[in-house]
Structure 1
Amino acid sequence: MNTQTTTDATEEKPRIPWPFHQRWRISGCLIAESPLFIGSGNTSHRDHLKNDDELVEIADCLRGANDWPALPATSLKGVLRAWLGREEEEQIKRLFGEDSKENNSGRGGEVEFLDAHLTLPRNSDTPLPHWDQDKQTWVEIINSIDRERGVAAENHLAHRETVAAGSGFELEITGQFSQPQNDIPLLLAALEGFNDPENPVLLGADTISGKGRMHWELAVVERLDATSVLEWLEDPNRGMAQQAFQPLPTEELATLKESATVYTGMEEKVWNFPLTLHFNGPFLVNNPSTDEEMDVPQDQKPAHARPRTNEMGQVILPAKSLRGVLRSQGEKILRTLLDMEDEQWINSELQQFVERRIACRPEIPTRACNPLKGKEEAGEKLCLACQLFGAPGWRSPMAITDFTLKPGDYERQTQEMLAVDRFTGGGKDKAKYNAQAIIDPVLEGRVKLDKRRAPGWGLGLLALLLRDLKEGELRFGWGAAGKGYGHCTAEIDKWDDHALRQDAQAAWGELIKLIKEHIDTLKENLPHTEDEQATKPEASGHE
């Protein structure tokens, strides 16, 4: 009996075959439709780009093969995961992975992303500022606006190396999927999100200003199944296993694409406002001439100030310019809602309270909101203006595109000017300059507000800003502060939408309630003299 037991124990158990999972590969091309910047953290210089005879520091973009720009796999994975949203869905977590938490060690995702390298360089003749053909980048120059004077702020100039629109990157996604018939359609839908006209997937920095817009072209979906692997193993002249992938049959690919459309009908995540700006008179956002352009005979020199254009040669009102004007006006509205007496504004405690809770001074580091370290702090740590318009560590929920010139025949006018000598009151010697402006242009673009990230009162303040824009209260571009340039009115497609108006009115009521709470807190903490207390009128009960 013992012998029989020993024999049974030593018998080999039947082997369980290791399950074979098909491997998939999705390939295609991402083509930049707007400027793109993904920083590497390094800086460089260009010999011809100086400021007061000193070479300026340029923030470098991330590079790959041939020293050309590249799109990092982590960025691609992150933006697609964010666009899909739906935090609690198990499929999203299985594909993209999830972070470790208190009771969860986290896990990696089934989908694998590779860096996307530049394979379609830009060869257009359209001039770009400080273009480098070898590096396939140009240099974007950025400045801030002084809140009080309405002109460019001093010592706020920045330069960064930017990928031009029209540049193409080869994208490849691979993986072994537990449920390929569900997972491949989801990934195809996410990639098609780059082409979404209302809420596209965006890459890189300044996406809230229309940067990083891409167009996706699917090339092929391939599969490596057991049959393909066996054929590859039996081939005496086999190469790398990557060459054994086989394209899907046309009918099967069509079925997967059809299934992908299910995921494109997601709930609307943004309020979208298409705008048309009608300018009355000259309009100009300056595109300064370079030293090389000015180092030519007098009759060949361009205007000192001329219209800014994008990579396609279209005249634009940059998103940053529009954002700056909207933010400045929004800050004025927020401060005005406090309804304080004139003499109270000189109180230092009041100024500190306003900058801490209502509207800070982002152009002055000591009076700006502190950078955030976590999104959960936004409502507590940021002033109201920064919650809506953005701050270090907090991306604005308001996205704005560049406004481009609507096709048409527009007059261009060059105005000759002479600076005035402040001492003599006459013309300043050697201070003659000129500006080329477009007369009565019409520009089109969009303003969008993310419903998921915007504060509850955000739509209310945005609606008031759009009303000011519609009524011609705002000016844009060069010469807007004192030369009569940049006056416009706006045409807003959704302005009469009843549901939108109700949402905006409710949001405005929420903002008024919040401002009143701040006023009560402020009055409790500000000191008052006995004379002020005696003459202070009782509340009338009217709002």
Structure 2
Amino acid sequence: MKAFARIRIHLTLTLTSALRISSGQVAFLPHPKNEEKEIEYALVYRDVLGKPYLPSTSLRGLLRAAAQDISDPEQQQTLNTLFGSANLDDSGNHSRIRVYDARAKTAHTRITTHNKINPITATAEDKLLFKSESVDPGTAFTLTIELDDVSEAEKLTIIDLLLLFSETNPFQLGSGANKRLGEFTLNIDKIETLSQDDVYYWLQQKDCTELPYQPADLPQQTHATFKQQGLIKIPFSLYLKSPLLIAAESERKTSNNEEADPIKFKQRDGYPYIPASTLLGVFRSRCRHIISSLALSQQETDPEPATALKCLTETTDALIDSLFGNTQRKSYIAISEGSSDLPMSACTHKQSFNAIDRFTGEVKDSALFFAEACYGNCFNFNMHINSSALQAQNNGALLILFYALKDFTEGLIPLGWGANKGFGQVHLTAPTTHQIEAIDWSAMSRYLQTHQLDLEPKQLEQWQQQLSEQLTATEEV
């Protein structure tokens, strides 16, 4: 007989980044420039009271995936038994774990605008703007998990698993994992146990009473660990050499006789930010540019234009997918949102512009517009790299990554709106406690090595050889 008939664990799940988990339903907003049109956006899950919630299926799936990643084989086997299985040969066992929907204590949501970035030009694709609802970071959800017919060892194992989520962990909820959306922590608030004797005693009562759960001690330290995934987290800062403008969507229409709204920087609660999708899109575009350049330089013959274009596209797509994933595979690189410590009011750079008629070269009549960019501050973000998975591919993809980091460090990658007007000149640098400033590549290399990225000459030569073989093999095919 197992020690416990039932165990109930009460937890608090706290979001550390925005969460986008679509319910499949949509709502509509009025179009800012056309009263006859509406803008569709995806809704998060909401309960009957209108509060966001996390569906139990998503939470259970996440916990089961985490159970597969426990490094101790014995603990992993115990967890697999608790979660159950459904084998075709009738050798499966039913699950003894129930996970309930997580309800928000208080929650704030916002509607965010996204745009697909053209991988060739690194600019926003025309007519591919879309919106979605997300739950703000800091939102806390209450969560309950119940287990039936559990031994003392099984109880300790599931608690060890849950304690692994009390700090930073490699798992996310919802969509946008490569943008570091859906990050969270789990904290155990209370554990209640129900022994077999307690159930027997309760069944003997004539009056209808609640089950006599007994409080259990809260453990302070886990004895479990996740497998070494080679996931490296590197903090970066963006040093602004010129004004930077990540344009927010215009919210109202204007007429020819009315002064247009200024182009404003994306803000949240008065603070400017760079969406993770912007950073990831520009970084991906640079990697594509580097791969295409290397592939062209290695062509030994001069093939037909159509054949050359097809070969170049296949080579580039294969290597880009090995870095950033596709619909069939997960990305090995993730980038968080870029945040600023200064409010927009303390770093606003206002500038006026006038459109030029491209045929006459004269100033276009009634085409004066204004921009409110950001200048005099820096943006901090994190890059997460699964280095072990990238090295296991043996295709030199890591070398492409470092080429892109080098270009970013040297200020060769413009960011945001108005690059042809001198805006968006940024340098990737290492965050310090001192004043942020640009650094050279040798200093950045030393910084990367402190985060377990091997940049020794022998390693770089090996990646160069792997990349050369990959490009040559694709060309021959």
Deviations 1:122-179 (A, max 9, x none): 3xxxxxxxxxxxxxx3222110223444421112212222222233221111102543
Decide whether aligned partners of structure 1 residues 148 and 459 sit closer, same or farther in structure 2, where only a CA change above 3 A counts. Answer: closer
The answer as to 2:125 corresponding to 1:157 is no
In the aligned structure 1, how far is the partner of 2:299 from the partner of 2:229? Answer: 43
Question: Which of residues 142, 154, 159 in structure 2 aligns to 1:170?
Answer: 142
Using the TM superposition, give the Cα deviation of residue 328 of structure 1 relative to its aligned residue in structure 2, in angstroms: 0.8
Decide whether aligned partners of structure 1 residues 441 and 231 sit closer, same or farther in structure 2, where only a CA change above 3 A counts. Answer: same
Partner of 1:4: none
Percent same amino acid among aligned pairs? Answer: 24
Partner of 2:428: 489
Which has the bigger relative contact order, CA under 8 A and spacing at least 6? 2
The answer as to 2:286 corresponding to 1:329 is yes
The answer as to 2:394 corresponding to 1:459 is no
Whether the aligned pair in 2 keeps the contact of 1:96 and 1:111 (CA below 8 Å) is: yes
Partner of 1:92: 79
Decide whether aligned partners of structure 1 residues 179 and 510 sit closer, same or farther in structure 2, where only a CA change above 3 A counts. Answer: farther
Decide whether aligned partners of structure 1 residues 110 and 452 sit closer, same or farther in structure 2, where only a CA change above 3 A counts. Answer: farther
TM-align CA RMSD: 3.4
In the aligned structure 2, how far is the partner of 1:499 from the partner of 1:19? Answer: 46
Q: Which amino acid aligns with 1:501?
A: D
Deviations 1:47-79 (A, max 9, x none): 466768421222232233323322111211222
Using the TM superposition, give the Cα deviation of residue 329 of structure 1 relative to its aligned residue in structure 2, in angstroms: 0.9
| Equivalence map 1:100-139=2 (5 Å) | 100=87, 106-122=92-108, 137-139=109-111
Deviations 1:332-385 (A, max 9, x none): 1112222156994861122122222x223xxxxxxxxxxxxxxxxxxxxxx110
Decide whether aligned partners of structure 1 residues 421 and 28 sit closer, same or farther in structure 2, where only a CA change above 3 A counts. Answer: same
Decide whether aligned partners of structure 1 residues 384 and 52 sit closer, same or farther in structure 2, where only a CA change above 3 A counts. Answer: farther
Decide whether aligned partners of structure 1 residues 43 and 434 sit closer, same or farther in structure 2, where only a CA change above 3 A counts. Answer: same
In the aligned structure 2, how far is the partner of 1:498 from the partner of 1:172? Answer: 37
Question: Which of residues 372, 379, 382 in structure 2 aligns to 1:436?
Answer: 372
Partner of 2:414: 475
Deviations 1:297-345 (A, max 9, x none): x89x9x52222234x5432222111111111111111122221569948
| Equivalence map 1:76-475=2 (5 Å) | 76-84=59-67, 85-86=69-70, 89-98=76-85, 100=87, 106-122=92-108, 137-176=109-148, 178-181=150-153, 183-197=154-168, 199-241=169-211, 244-248=212-216, 252-253=217-218, 256-258=219-221, 260=222, 262-264=223-225, 267=228, 269-291=230-252, 304-310=262-268, 313-338=270-295, 339-340=297-298, 344=302, 347-356=305-314, 358-360=315-317, 383-406=318-341, 410-451=346-387, 453-454=389-390, 455-456=393-394, 457-475=396-414
Higher Rg of the two aligned structures: 1
In the aligned structure 2, how far is the partner of 1:188 from the partner of 1:19? Answer: 17
Q: Which amino acid aligns with 2:355?
A: A
Decide whether aligned partners of structure 1 residues 150 and 268 sit closer, same or farther in structure 2, where only a CA change above 3 A counts. Answer: closer
Secondary structure of 1:80's counterpart equals: helix
Whether the aligned pair in 2 keeps the contact of 1:317 and 1:477 (CA below 8 Å) is: no
| Equivalence map 1:33-72=2 (5 Å) | 33-47=16-30, 53-72=36-55
Decide whether aligned partners of structure 1 residues 110 and 417 sit closer, same or farther in structure 2, where only a CA change above 3 A counts. Answer: same
Whether the aligned pair in 1 keeps the contact of 2:271 and 2:342 (CA below 8 Å) is: no
Decide whether aligned partners of structure 1 residues 345 and 120 sit closer, same or farther in structure 2, where only a CA change above 3 A counts. Answer: farther
Q: Which amino acid aligns with 1:54?
A: K
User: Which segments of 5 or more consecutive residues in structure 2 lack a partner in the other structure?
Assistant: 431-443
Comparing 394-403 with 475-484, greater Cα deviation is found at 475-484
User: Which segments of 5 or more consecutive residues in structure 1 lack a partner in the other structure?
Assistant: 1-17, 123-136, 361-382, 526-543
Secondary structure of 1:394's counterpart equals: coil
Instruction: Give the length in aligned residue pairs.
Output: 453
Secondary structure of 1:27's counterpart equals: strand
Decide whether aligned partners of structure 1 residues 267 and 340 sit closer, same or farther in structure 2, where only a CA change above 3 A counts. Answer: closer
Secondary structure of 2:454's counterpart equals: helix
Whether the aligned pair in 2 keeps the contact of 1:151 and 1:481 (CA below 8 Å) is: no
In the aligned structure 2, how far is the partner of 1:178 from the partner of 1:98? Answer: 17
Secondary structure of 1:77's counterpart equals: helix
The structure with the largest strand share of the pair is: 2
